[in-house]
Chains A and B, each alone.
Chain A
Amino acid sequence: AQSVTQPDIHITVSEGASLELRCNYSYGATPYLFWYVQSPGQGLQLLLKYFSGDTLVQGIKGFEAEFKRSQSSFNLRKPSVHWSDAAEYFCAVVEYGNKLVFGAGTILRVKS
């Protein structure tokens, strides 16, 4: 079975600072990878996805992620964090069919 690891449970960054959230996956072939964000009391919103092709993908809200096959990673980045980015972020991979397998999530706190 596929799995996703998000090694950081909590991350705190200052507003305006850059952000990188880590994600590692285990899968034999080229995976379909996603990043979702969950704001308090809300459902999950898709930030970006990777299927194939260019390994640097752009998403909504100024986020981007880079697929690195050699490191089995799909890290999420943002050059300048805003207070409204405070939320929980989930990395996910599609398993057979199209069920999503999620990582444990990373809670982002933004300090002003």
Chain B
Amino acid sequence: DSGVTQTPKHLITATGQRVTLRCSPRSGDLSVYWYQQSLDQGLQFLIQYYNGEERAKGNILERFSAQQFPDLHSELNLSSLELGDSALYFCASSVESWARDEQFFGPGTRLTVL
């Protein structure tokens, strides 16, 4: 158990819908990262937040957005969902935002878009 929790574990929805994925980092960790794992794209970095502020952005679609709240939990919002958004979405956290900081991964949320 990494100490990072993600809810829900599974999500099934239809095209065009909007969903919210939630992540609680390890106690004391200030950084939260979101990654997408799909069969065709592999594991890709989406976005990072540090202490409530966006720190880095990767290949995140405009239909996706995220935020980190004052209690440091984070939410990833996916809208106008398409079949291709079906994937496993991981959240990770680290103590700070240094390259050497180990990222601890949650168990993931499996999103299925029908």
Residues of A within 8 A of B (CB): 32, 36, 41-46, 49, 51, 90, 94, 96-105
Q: A45 to chain B: which residues have CB within 8 Å?
A: 2, 105
Give the docked Cα–Cα distance between A6 and B90 (Å). 21
Establish whether residues B100 and A32, one from each chain, have CB atoms under 8 Å apart when the complex forms. Answer: yes
Establish whether residues B4 and A43, one from each chain, have CB atoms under 8 Å apart when the complex forms. Answer: yes
Establish whether residues B90 and A44, one from each chain, have CB atoms under 8 Å apart when the complex forms. Answer: yes
Establish whether residues A104 and B56, one from each chain, have CB atoms under 8 Å apart when the complex forms. Answer: no
Residues of B within 8 A of A (CB): 2, 4, 31, 33, 35, 42-45, 48, 55-56, 58, 90, 92, 94, 97-108
Establish whether residues A105 and B42, one from each chain, have CB atoms under 8 Å apart when the complex forms. Answer: yes
Q: A44 to chain B: which residues have CB within 8 Å?
A: 90, 92, 105
Given contacts A97-B48, A99-B45, A99-B56, whether A42 and B107 have CB atoms under 8 Å apart is yes
Q: B94 to chain A: which residues have CB within 8 Å?
A: 98
Given contacts A43-B4, A44-B105, whether A32 and B99 have CB atoms under 8 Å apart is yes
A-B contact list, 9 entries, CB within 8 Å: A43-B106, A46-B103, A49-B102, A97-B56, A97-B97, A98-B31, A98-B98, A98-B101, A100-B43
Establish whether residues A101 and B4, one from each chain, have CB atoms under 8 Å apart when the complex forms. Answer: no
Give the docked Cα–Cα distance between A23 and B67 (Å). 34
Give the docked Cα–Cα distance between A44 and B2 (Å). 9
Establish whether residues B105 and A98, one from each chain, have CB atoms under 8 Å apart when the complex forms. Answer: no
Assuming A44-B90, A99-B58, A102-B44, what are 16 further A-B pairs, CB within 8 angstroms? Answer: A32-B100, A43-B4, A46-B104, A51-B100, A96-B56, A97-B48, A97-B99, A98-B48, A98-B94, A98-B99, A98-B100, A100-B33, A100-B43, A103-B42, A104-B42, A105-B43
9 shortest A-B CB distances, which residue pairs? A43-B105, A102-B43, A44-B105, A99-B45, A97-B56, A98-B99, A94-B99, A43-B107, A104-B42
Least CB distance from A56 to B in Å reads 19
Establish whether residues A98 and B58, one from each chain, have CB atoms under 8 Å apart when the complex forms. Answer: no
